[in-house]
Structure 1
Amino acid sequence: MVVVGGGVIGLTTAVVLAERGRRVRVWTRDPVERTTSAVAGALWWPYRIEPEALAGAWALESLAVYEELAARPAETGVRLVGGVHGGTRLEELGPWAARVPGLRAARADEYAGGGLWARLPLIDMAAHLPWLRERLLRAGGTVEDRSVTDLAEVQAAVTVNCTGLAARELVPDPAVRPVRGQLVVVENPGITTWLTSVDHTAEVSTYFFPQPGGLILGGTAEEDVWSLTPDPAAAEAIVARCAAIRPEIAGARVREHRVGLRPTRPAVRLEREVRPDGRVLVHNYGQGGAGVTVAWGCAREAAGLAEAAAS
């Protein structure tokens, strides 16, 4: 089997297949450290992903895995960290929320504006993506730096398409669209909790995540914007919004600017397609801003579709 795409969706899917005894090759246009997944702030939470019912189930499967991986944070890059989703109410969320351990209303001393407090997986992608690659290699899989211009050129009985935004051209699937996200990484002035204040209909939001490489500040959600060049004005506004909540952020030294394009779709595409030549293509893409959140749930479902086709 060939898995096309070396981001978190592709690598996790390949790991599941390889650990079930399948011979798996990952073809990735970019080294895993330079995929869109590498840019992610990577807090576990179903964000900008549909359909909600399926996404909630995939997310809960992934949550259980991340809770186990958090026992080895230095190795896996996964930690359990407390924080607040500002302005979020439990009744606004789907049934999945009732199964998130410890999710409760935030106290006034935790966030004055009200919201939900939780202790959730926060994933350091700089560590997690290489760890996934090594786990795949230990299971007998391989990773090849190889660009694909047409999925038909993959000469495998079963191909798993985890190409994210590139699926727009490769499938082709015009329903996949970019949602541009810009982040600023600053030296952490001592903040140990995360916070989000997100309006899912707005192009800007406010959040910060303490990661080993610095405090990640966000963010933007600009639909159909393809530019990967950081916007200085947007960066300044991001810092200002975060500093309005935690004033110590205002004086923090900027380490890095990041831009990523979330592969958003009206609904995740996770299904099997039989090509005219009889070969099978399993699609697993369109997770938008929640790729890390649903990675393991989607991977297991995609692996099941691929195995059924191979048997």
Structure 2
Amino acid sequence: MLAERGHRVLVRSREPAERTTSAVAGALWWPYRIRPENRVGDWSLESFAVYEELAGRPEETGVRMVEGVHEGGRLDGLGAWAAGVPGLRAATAAECQSGEGLWARLPLIDMPSHLRWLRGRLAAAGGTVVPGTVTSLAELADPVNPVNPVGRARVVVNCTGLGARDLVPDPAVRPVSGQLVLVENPGVDTWYTGPESAGGSAYFFPQPGRLVLGGTAREDDWSTEPDPAVAEAIVRRCAAVRPEIADARVLGHRVGLRPVRDAVRLERVRLPGGGTVVHHYGHGGAGVTVAWGCAREAADLVEADTV
């Protein structure tokens, strides 16, 4: 967004996009494990509108509009943002096993494809991606030059997710791990999410070439190693909803660490040695859901500093 507004943008990243947490995400649009509620709704709906437009080119962008059911969900349990979701309604008995749930047609994003598209869009706007580990925000700041040849900048946007815990440092950001199982799709063309319990939840998302099964939400768990017993339980819970999943061939396993915080940190801060940081992290389990709304606000904060 900054590059397309005409700013010189250089992205520093320890990992390539395909090895980040974003690449693991099941990526169904829905405000999940993110606060503050009074801001999340606007960010989410702004992003929804962008994804609706991108869904017109799914092969290019990786975004599709897909129908599905949130079992156990109730309209009166949602925030004001729900009124802005076209067609969101109570599920019928035929659509929901328990008889109570929500039906919706929502953006579902194939993240490997979407990340490639985003990288190409950044490059087309003149942005540059440079690999490298950042150990200090101050080392990136140059209070004079917009972006200089050695990779320092007048404004640094800190989008480090869970890495902000050490980099800022901010102990308020912590991991909530999610394990997924990828299987051959036995013919499922709708998404599903079930209620959470102590043992985990059941959800599945039909993505190109695979069905993504989940999942878990283990707080303060730093492990990214898949647990075979957890994987078996995930398949079992999903097969209880769609029996054909039980015999689907397993293609792989994934674990991602959601960067959860009591509230998203989106603010501009002056560095002691000069320069500015726009902190932009703590999006929990809804990074994709709020991506475009948060990016617009972050870009506005950068421009407020540079005008």
Query: How high is the TM-score relative to the length of structure 1?
Result: 0.94
CA distance in 2, matches of 1:214, 1:40: 14
Alpha-carbon RMSD across the aligned residues, in angstroms, is 0.9
Q: Deviations over 1:17-69 (max 9, x none)?
A: 00100000111110001100000000000000000110111000000000000
Partners of 1:160 and 1:310 in 2: CA distance:
13
What is the aligned counterpart of 1:112 among 91, 97, 103? 97
- Could you report, residue by residue, the CA deviation over 1:89-110 in whole angstroms, capped at 9, with x for unpaired residues? 0000000001100001111111
Q: Which amino acid in the other structure matches residue 268 of structure 1?
A: V
Aligned position for 1:156: 153
> 2:147 matched to which residue of 1?
none
Is this contact kept in 1: 2:213–2:238, CA < 8 A?
yes
- Give the match's secondary structure for 2:40: helix
Alignment of 1:64-75 (within 5 A): 64-75=49-60
Question: How is 1:22-171 mapped onto 2 (pairs within 5 angstroms)?
Answer: 22-113=7-98, 114-154=100-140, 155-171=152-168
Please identify which structure carries the higher strand content. 1
Equivalent position of 1:259 in the other structure: 255
1:245 to 2:241 alignment? yes
Q: 1:37 to 1:237 in 2, by over 3 A?
A: same
The secondary structure found in structure 1 opposite 2:157 is strand
Correspondent of 1:209 among 178, 196, 205: 205
Q: Determine if contact 1:203/1:221 at 8 Å carries over to the other structure.
A: no
Give the whole-Å Cα distance in 2 for the aligned partners of 1:307 and 1:166: 25
Deviation at 1:203, TM superposition (A): 5.6
- Once the two structures are superposed, what CA deviation does each residue of 1:209-257 show, in whole Å capped at 9, x if it has no partner? 0000300000000000000100000000000000001000000000010
Could you tell me which residue of structure 1 aligns to residue 180 of structure 2?
A: 183
Q: Which runs of 5+ in 2 are unaligned?
A: 141-151
| Partner Cα separation in structure 2 for residue 263 and residue 30 of structure 1 | 16
Give me the whole-angstrom Cα distance separating, in 1, the residues matched to 2:171 and 2:199.
Answer: 21
Q: Which runs of 4+ in 1 moved over 2 A?
A: none
Contact 2:9 2:128 in 1 (8 A): yes
Report the Cα distance in structure 2 between the residues aligned to 1:226 and 1:22, rounded to whole angstroms.
Answer: 36
Whole-Å separation in 1 of the counterparts to 2:262 and 2:76: 23
Query: What is the percent sequence identity of the aligned residues?
Result: 71
Displacement after TM superposition at 1:146 (Å): 1.3
Q: Partners of 2:52 and 2:198 in 1: how far apart?
A: 31
Q: TM-score, normalised to structure 2's length?
A: 0.95
Aligned positions, number:
295
- Determine the C-alpha separation between the residues in 2 that align with 1:176 and 1:157: 25
Where 1:273 maps in the other structure, the secondary structure is strand
Contact 1:189 1:249 in 2 (8 A): yes
**Stretches of structure 1 lacking an aligned partner (at least 5 in a row):** 1-15
Q: Measure, in 1, the Cα distance between the counterparts of 2:220 and 2:305.
A: 35
